[in-house]
Amino acid sequence: MGMFDFLKKSGGNKELEEALRKLQMNCENNYKDAAQANFREFCGLLQELKDKGKLSAKQLEYYDHKLEEYKEKMKKFTHKDQTPYWQ
């Protein structure tokens, strides 16, 4: 996903796309704490929009897939799990 791909998508939710953009940028820059915070923000926002019924079935499918993708990526994306270069 390119940095501005979210502008090309029609039918995407602007708030969720912005949260994903920040998450992606922080992951790419290896900002682990910020990326974890962005992931929690994305999860909370997605749940809030689901609860309010603001997402179409197609959007739900897309964002649920993104959620699962990032859940896997974020499992060991912490400073605690980082191995020192000298080991």
**Prediction pTM value:** 0.76
Q: CA nearest 45: which of 22, 68, 16, 69?
A: 16
Give the tens place of pLDDT for each residue, 17-65: 999 999 999 999 988 999 999 999 999 999 999 999 999 999 999 999 9
β strands within 1-87, DSSP E: none
Cα–Cα distances in angstroms (integers) from residue 8 to residues 2, 4, 67, in the given order: 10, 7, 20
Cα–Cα distances in angstroms (integers) from residue 36 to residues 42, 52, 54, 63, 68, in the given order: 10, 25, 25, 17, 14
